[in-house]
Structure 1
């Protein structure tokens, strides 16, 4: 049986691990980033850094926020006195490698999951910093504000339309010619940008539903695929390794292995 060819649409600087997992599990990876990430030293980030000693909590939602601090404020994590919450074990492990102690990581790696933990623990009247990208959902800050917390949002990086969309156009061509067996999406923007580059969204959605195994990292990304009418699956735990394990187990089951 041939190796499944798996398309990876996440940003290039975050795709290495995903490609390695695909190869390890017996597949062939095709990288076509539909999203670029750029650390930025905005006024809001400067303000957050300036007022870090007044924070009760700081929330890290992605590895790119850590990249931004390491680039612009390499000493930020030294003597950090507030409590630290993260969404996702990848983000958490990166912080721990830098000597940061984690105080809270939800089992559900989503904004809703973290808000649920704060609600269950009745964490209120706190000053909470959230470095993030401006294009992300407002679920987290709004949820924390409903608990009477003072939320300070800082733009730490930008989520950009891919600078070079040729690889995505080439991927779409390969999908149309049945050269791709599965495709993965790791955030809502990876889906939106993918379809923005497409010239025929309806046709592409049909191909992703009928001819490919389409896998989302979790339900939030899955909801965006629903908007485009794409049938998909996602794992119980919202990580890249779990997403790939689900992809390959589903592939083997459907191909008699």
Structure 2
């Protein structure tokens, strides 16, 4: 039993004021990630990317207090009270867009915590003032243009009688001006700058949702940018950059020139396998919508696989056709009290490079990896002579193509096909995705296996799935998947020449670049 004073210390909380960065989750800091993983309560804003919430512990309370276009989920006073209430006895992460101390009202929240006697720490974030122009191809400083910059709010306090901005000095004294939250006041901002001496020909960029796949940039001059923004229908949240450095955008605009920028891609792959695919798509500029039409689950019974594992030394070959097969096979092997030494003397084959990597990561060497990543490829690589009379173990999905085992048997092999896992059909979120497809808000639907095709059609059966796909590009990982799609009436526009995830991404880039 702890003394009373020690017990109070144990229960004492702490608040971390954490900058979430400008939008791209890849710009989140290591320190931010560290404290987020320890959070008991996460209080987050509208501009904090919700993907970051996945790093918080599952049991952590997640409380949204965002402010959007004047619509406040909770007033600032309410947020302050919430921070004090939760911060007394919990580890609280206050996740704020950009940097908490750069127009983020983090200073005000810190003052409230000090007044309440609550311990706090500030974790700086990458401010939008720097990151957003960089993603738009605009360096804030450049020796040929300017050596000074200033960050200014474009939306001062409503209860303030006098402006804290000295426009007469600001207009011409600083080379690059960056305005936060200024879209609604853009006419007033440009007018004041020109009124106090800034040339109407000064370049201006207005950047909405900077650093994200939704980034959109409108450029002009002080004299015409208001009309250009109005014509483009650009809305908050957006950042305004004023200065000669904006001229460099034509040369340095790297982010918006990526091959898939602005494209929305539906990823139907199982969630356990989607991360690499999603990362590659996002690196090419795509906005990914995940809707896994497959969920990987253990088989109904482990008995067939367990029996095969107990007889491993009687097999001449083990052929793996997927990363999932490797994972479940190895996990079950270890649960049986064995390790990779149980495979000594057994030849190993993998149907593709990712499956091979999964085996090599466990210290296993492959005897066969085909040049063509499908059943026909592995058959060609092995050849009939090498399997005549051989005993072969094939741990794979419960439902899969029969080309491989049937051909091996015709060649005289003894083949045991055992389910190492099975695919389950998820349906959550189907209505939302159907609406996006119906409205043409999805540019590409990707299929990475025949089962993703058949499951997609089944999940959206009530929505007329072929009708849903009329407004989108359909991309398949290889000819088998494409044949399945065409056989079900699905039009196929892209088929990867190399039947891998990188191959599919490259094929998609090539197709959309035409």
Q: 2:439 aligns with which of 177, 193, 211?
A: 177
Q: CA deviation at 1:200?
A: 5.2
- Cα distance in 2 between the residues matched to 1:161 and 1:109: 25
Partner of 2:37: none
Equivalences, count:
249
Partner of 1:53: 313
Say if 2:313 and 2:342, in contact at 8 Å, map to a contact too. no
Q: 2:351 aligns with which of 87, 110, 116?
A: 87
Q: 1:144 aligns with which of 408, 431, 438?
A: 408
Runs of 4 or more off by more than 6 Å in structure 1? none
- Cα distance in 2 between the residues matched to 1:118 and 1:66: 19
Say if 2:312 and 2:342, in contact at 8 Å, map to a contact too. no
- Cα distance in 1 between the residues matched to 2:262 and 2:497: 25
Structure 1, unmatched stretches of 5+, are none
Q: CA deviation at 1:207?
A: 4.4
Secondary structure class of the residue paired with 2:429: helix
Say if 1:134 and 1:155, in contact at 8 Å, map to a contact too. yes
Partner of 1:239: 500
- Cα distance in 2 between the residues matched to 1:52 and 1:169: 46
Taking the TM superposition and a 5 Å limit, the aligned residue runs for 1:113-124 are: 113-119=377-383, 122-124=386-388
Deviations 1:166-200 (A, max 9, x none): 22332121000111000101111111111112145
Of 7-16 and 229-238, more deviation after overlay is shown by: 229-238
Say if 1:105 and 1:114, in contact at 8 Å, map to a contact too. yes
- Cα distance in 2 between the residues matched to 1:113 and 1:76: 29
- Cα distance in 2 between the residues matched to 1:79 and 1:166: 41
- Cα distance in 1 between the residues matched to 2:429 and 2:272: 15
- Cα distance in 2 between the residues matched to 1:48 and 1:114: 22
Partner of 2:478: 218
Pairwise CA RMSD of aligned residues? Answer: 1.7
- Cα distance in 1 between the residues matched to 2:305 and 2:411: 23
User: Is residue 2:327 matched to residue 1:67?
Assistant: yes
Partner of 1:36: 295
Say if 1:33 and 1:168, in contact at 8 Å, map to a contact too. no
Bigger helix fraction: 1
Q: 2:283 aligns with which of 14, 21, 24?
A: 24
Partner of 1:99: 363
Say if 1:206 and 1:230, in contact at 8 Å, map to a contact too. no
Q: CA deviation at 1:79?
A: 4.2
Say if 2:318 and 2:348, in contact at 8 Å, map to a contact too. yes
Q: CA deviation at 1:39?
A: 2.7
User: Is residue 2:451 matched to residue 1:189?
Assistant: yes
Question: Residue 243 and residue 121 in structure 1: after superposition, are their counterparts in 2 closer, same or farther (change >3 A)?
Answer: farther
- Cα distance in 1 between the residues matched to 2:384 and 2:314: 24
Question: Residue 146 and residue 120 in structure 1: after superposition, are their counterparts in 2 closer, same or farther (change >3 A)?
Answer: closer
User: Is residue 2:466 matched to residue 1:205?
Assistant: yes
User: Which is greater in Rg?
Assistant: 2
Say if 1:5 and 1:179, in contact at 8 Å, map to a contact too. yes
- Cα distance in 1 between the residues matched to 2:435 and 2:341: 48
Secondary structure class of the residue paired with 1:214: strand
Say if 1:45 and 1:156, in contact at 8 Å, map to a contact too. yes
Partner of 1:127: 391
Secondary structure class of the residue paired with 1:166: coil
Q: CA deviation at 1:206?
A: 4.3
- Cα distance in 2 between the residues matched to 1:239 and 1:127: 29
Say if 1:132 and 1:157, in contact at 8 Å, map to a contact too. yes
Partner of 1:249: 510
- Cα distance in 2 between the residues matched to 1:171 and 1:251: 22
Say if 1:60 and 1:91, in contact at 8 Å, map to a contact too. yes
Q: CA deviation at 1:122?
A: 4.3
Say if 2:316 and 2:391, in contact at 8 Å, map to a contact too. yes
Q: CA deviation at 1:36?
A: 0.8
- Cα distance in 1 between the residues matched to 2:511 and 2:483: 20
